[in-house]
Amino acid sequence: MREYLVVTNESYTDPTGFLGQPDGERDGEAWVEFKNPREVVLGTYVADSDEKAIEDAAAEWKVSKEVLSFYPLAKVY
């Protein structure tokens, strides 16, 4: 298991939210509003693979996997 930081892809972000589908429209059904407009990190996810971390984040936020990316977090001992 490894920890991943899951974020929205830059091309789908906006200061107040992001598109949950690549073909969505701002303020439309696929629009996900941020509570804090400066945040683009969706959270950290512990998973067996980067794909599983993306799937977990997409399910939690109810968005397409295509609008998410990740960064593996280093293990600190």
pLDDT tens digits, 39-75: 478 899 999 999 999 999 999 999 999 989 999 998 7
pLDDT at residue 36, as a whole number: 59
**C-alpha–C-alpha distance, residues 58 and 22, integer Å:** 13
* Residue whose C-alpha is closest to residue 66's, from 77, 52, 55, 74: 55
pLDDT at residue 5, as a whole number: 92
Beta partners for 5?
Answer: 44, 71
Q: Note if the pTM is more than 0.75.
A: no
pLDDT at residue 37, as a whole number: 53
The answer to whether 72 and 2 have CB atoms below 8 angstroms apart is yes
